[in-house]
Amino acid sequence: MAIFLSKITMKRILIIGASYLQLPLIEKVNQMGYESHVVAWEEGAVGKEVAFCFYPISIIEKEKILDLAKIIKPIAVVSIASDLANITVNYVASHLGLISNEESTVLYTSDKYMMRQLLSSHGILCPTYQLLTSDNRILNHCRITYPLIVKPVDRSGSRGVSLVYKDSDLESALDLAFSESFSKMVLVEQYIEGREISVEGISQKGEHQILTITDKITTGAPHFVELGHSEPSSLSFDIQAKVENVTLKILDVVGMSNGASHTEFRITEKGDIYLIEIGSRMGGDFIGSDLVWYSTGFDFVKAVIDVAIGVPLTELKKIRKDVSIVFFTRKIDYEKFLENQPLENIIRKDVFGNENQELKSSADRYSYIIYYR
């Protein structure tokens, strides 16, 4: 594996991941005048083409990446929109003495069971839950009743997630969740009916900024694959204020010090705010890399880099534009939507998958369009 370092003394940033979700980060690092050194699997590594140097190493091979980093000597280690990459980012950065979060923070924001344990113990409203393992798949029906959500404790992007209404469907849902889980542990929890939102945030030295609240559209049962996101949220200002306060408490409880955060909630008709999960990384689906920028004028991707290298953050501008992203599974729907949108409203569009696939996760989608509403 060749390692390329510029003859001119340039500061280097190590980026974990090279999928289409990481592409805006790689491009931003280049625009800011740094060398982008990128590690990722070869398959799907679209960022390889724009990286200063690409290294075909699995993003979960932390020790190999750390050895590489000791040679490269980056000033920061970064990633966006990936829980797996985020674990490696924090591991490598902390071992190099670079800006990072505590190991416990990454654990609490990537393991859904530990997340539930910690946050419910601090008074955060969470669904009733139970952990199942491959050795113990027996559900306590006295504690949790149907309908249920079944999901791996350690995956994102709706992978392995199912809504279950009755006993006869439970085993197949567990089989799916266990097959997707790296740790072979599954969380079963009470299904909460309500509106889905996410909160995008950035932290530096333990100080948090709430950037915006995002409305979410999914396929619904059984797998809840995300089909669209819109900013700013149409929630009432009163509810938004409550959501922001809960989010700030959650960030403090998990010990979030540095970097992006993405916190998901369901809000019931009664106004109860249930935590679904929190990630100590930027939200995927171009929420952080695109929607936040076009909606607020705040360069979220640059902010992630600035935090990682220790540059003080600027305050959020008070700009608010209506922006959405919508995903499609069929070419005909994608093309029809484009026909009905004024050209000047289209920000970006792309076809990145195969059409007419059964939607079980975000990876099964066909295309997307980002546009001004």
**58-104 tens-digit pLDDT:** 999 999 999 999 999 999 999 998 999 999 999 999 999 999 999 99
Report the pLDDT value the prediction gives residue 363, as an integer from 0 to 100.
86
Q: What are the per-10-residue average pLDDT scores of the chain (373 residues)?
A: 64 96 96 97 95 97 98 97 94 98 96 97 97 91 90 87 92 94 95 96 97 94 88 97 98 98 97 97 95 96 98 84 96 96 96 87 92 96
Task: Report the largest interatomic distance among the alpha carbons of the chain, rounded to a whole angstrom.
Answer: 67
Phi, psi of 211 (to 5 degrees): -90, -45
pLDDT tens-place string over residues 157-174: 778 899 999 999 999 999
Write the CATH number of the domain with boundaries 12-100: 3.40.50.20
Domain 195-372 has CATH 3.30.470.20: yes
| Best CA proximity match to 260, nearest among 242, 282, 287 | 282
One DSSP character per residue, 177-207 reads HHHH-SSSEEEEEE---SEEEEEEEEEETTE
Structural domain boundaries in the chain: 12-100, 128-190, 195-372
How buried is 368 (Cβ within 10 angstroms: 0-12 exposed, 13-18 middle, 19+ buried)? buried
pLDDT at 6: 61
Q: What is the distance between the terminal CA atoms of the chain, rounded to a whole angstrom?
A: 47
User: What span, in angstroms and rounded, lies between the C-alpha atoms of 304 and 269?
Assistant: 35
Q: Which one-letter amino acid corresponds to residue 21?
A: L
> Quick one: pLDDT at residue 142?
79
Angle between helices 112-121 and 237-253 (to 10 degrees): 100
Give, in words, the CATH class of 128-190: alpha beta
252 and 280 in contact (C-beta within 8 Å)?
no
Would you say the CATH fold of 195-372 matches that of 12-100? no
